[in-house]
Chains A and B, each alone.
Chain A
Amino acid sequence: MGLGALLLLYYGLPLIALLITQSPAELGERLADAQVRRAALVSLGAAGTTTVLSALLGLPLAYGLARGPDWWTTPVTALVVLPLVFPPIVSGMLLLSVFGPSTWIGSAAATAGLPLTRSFAAVVLAQTFVASPFTVITAKSAFEGVPRRYEQASRLLGTGRWTTLRRVTLPLAAPGVAAGLLLTFARSMGEFGATLMVAYYPRTLPVQIWVAFTTLGLDSAFPVAAVLALLSILVLVLLNRLGPNAWE
């Protein structure tokens, strides 16, 4: 308990330092700044989209990994973890070399009116690469915690595969799945390195913090960082209150 409190203190001190050193007037000024508000919207929108995408694409993958045979789940799990190993800047450079304007995918998408760099889509691509593994890995262990015999019992009672998944497996795995999605959302809100490489515009809050820092230094960057902290805490508390049932 005492050791846990020590860690909590370690997490808490920087946040407290960030929040108490900012005067409410300064924070209000930043919230009124059109650039900061736009960046906040982009951050929330992109992190939300990334979380939804991670759920749509990541949960089937997580379920497959939880139930599949070892010979393929082990290498695939390693592949899923790979984005967590790369420094985000490296992830950004790799994404640029696949989706950049000089690649065939990038130029085809740009011709079709959906540029994959310097666009909202680019922000989502960067965040999904870096943050969706949290959903897959966490949901995988949540699905593994659901005993197979419950699914088998449901199937024996004549329930279909899909209904069993929806009515038996997902509700039992829900807390773990929700935790993974929360992690993905939080990581997306803070994503900077990969976003800087592939997008920069439209600016997210982390990019806006960096711009404030490189133009006027720490004193200018901290109020924007406080906006990011407050916004993220607000959303995470809201999502937490909705509870695991939100994903049923």
Chain B
Amino acid sequence: MTRRHFIAATAALLAGGACTSDSPSSVSLMAAGSLNHALENGLAKQQSETPLEIEAHGSVTVARLVAEGRRAPDIVSLADAALFDGPLHPAWHVEFATNALVLAYNPDTAAGRQLAEAGPANWYEPLLRSEVRLGRTDPDLDPLGYRTLFALDLAGRYYELPDLSARLLDPRQIYPETALISQFEVGAIDAAFAYRSMATARGYAFVELPPQINLSSPAHARNWYERATYRLPDGKVVRGGPISYASTIRHLRPEVRAVFRRQCRGPYLTAFGFSVPDDYPRVYGDAPAPVSSAF
């Protein structure tokens, strides 16, 4: 290869790279990490006319990036509608799917097999015997982290073991979500609290938790889930509630509305391990007419 060929090849690459920046007709969607798989491999694959640019982080990170003006996506979809009460304050949002907390375990380790044997009724006993290396995510960074705390708090009430959380929790269990996944997949962690959709998608073995604990059931919201609370670093107190995915539009264009509708109603949701209750999608707040009439 001569130098001239090399320079020509570099120039061609530069030109190729430069063409791939945002095209004006594409729709940008910022979403909770737990939605990423369903959106990337479900929603994006089933619709081809509008290019979709999906960006996923922890829900709290997404909300902060958008609230601070660091990102300006067309659609924001979060794993907790409470984040639309701050830091984000959209005039309206739509709740479109629910999820459940499960206890994923590694069936190849002895501790993992103990969890499998204990099952949905006694899952906390191996954890209390501290033979299980448990992993969870940071409650200050994403809802999965504080929902794990809610589930343990509710489990303490449900099983009448008031010190359950205090005995189980240890700061060394906390990993960033991505690190938690790697540690779990390579066998460095025996068990981890995860969303059911995530465990289903990746083929993890998991223990189902009772609906009083797994935060999946809107029927248990009042007087039960809401008893569990957590204070975020900014002082905001989040309260236990059903795990419900909520979404809003920030730039109302026809192609954005079409993507939004497919996101909230698409059959891809159940295929990727989410649940869609009968009264979903539900509109909260003053949605503009073209949106509210679509649901």
Residues of A within 8 A of B (CB): 38, 41-42, 44-46, 48-49, 52, 96, 100-102, 115, 117-121, 197, 200-202, 210-211, 213-218, 238, 241-242, 246
Write out the residue numbers on chain A whose beta carbons fall within 8 Å of the beta carbon of B56.
211, 214
Cα of A201 to Cα of B20 in the assembled complex, Å: 9
Residue of B13, B177, B202 with most chain A CB atoms under a 10 A cut-off: B13
Chain B: minimal CB distance from A20 (Å) = 17
- Among B1-53, those with CB < 8 Å from A are 1, 3, 6, 10, 13-18, 20-22, 28, 33, 36-37, 40-41, 53
13 extra interchain contacts, Cβ-Cβ under 8 A, other than A42-B20, A101-B71, A102-B69? A45-B15, A45-B18, A117-B70, A117-B71, A120-B20, A120-B21, A201-B53, A201-B55, A202-B17, A214-B56, A216-B202, A242-B3, A242-B6
Select which of A41, A52, A102, A200 is within 8 A of B17 by beta carbon. Answer: A41
Whether A118 contacts B16 in the complex (CB less than 8 A), given A102-B70, A217-B202, comes out as no
Top 10 closest pairs, chain A to chain B, by CB? A45-B17, A102-B69, A215-B37, A202-B20, A119-B21, A45-B13, A41-B16, A120-B21, A200-B55, A45-B14
Asked if B68 lies at the interface with its beta carbon under 8 angstroms from chain A, I say yes
The SS class assigned to the B binding surface is helix
Write out the residue numbers on chain A whose beta carbons fall within 8 Å of the beta carbon of B41.
215-216
- Among B177-212, those with CB < 8 Å from A are 177-178, 181-182, 185-186, 201-202
Write out the residue numbers on chain B whose beta carbons fall within 8 Å of the beta carbon of A210.
178
- CB pair A100 B202 closer than 8 Å: no
- CB pair B181 A217 closer than 8 Å: yes
Cα of A170 to Cα of B6 in the assembled complex, Å: 21
Cα of A12 to Cα of B17 in the assembled complex, Å: 31
Write out the residue numbers on chain A whose beta carbons fall within 8 Å of the beta carbon of B13.
41, 44-45, 48
Select which of A49, A96, A115, A217 is within 8 A of B70 by beta carbon. Answer: A96
- CB pair A100 B69 closer than 8 Å: yes
Write out the residue numbers on chain A whose beta carbons fall within 8 Å of the beta carbon of B202.
216-217
Whether A48 contacts B14 in the complex (CB less than 8 A), given A118-B22, A214-B56, A246-B6, comes out as yes
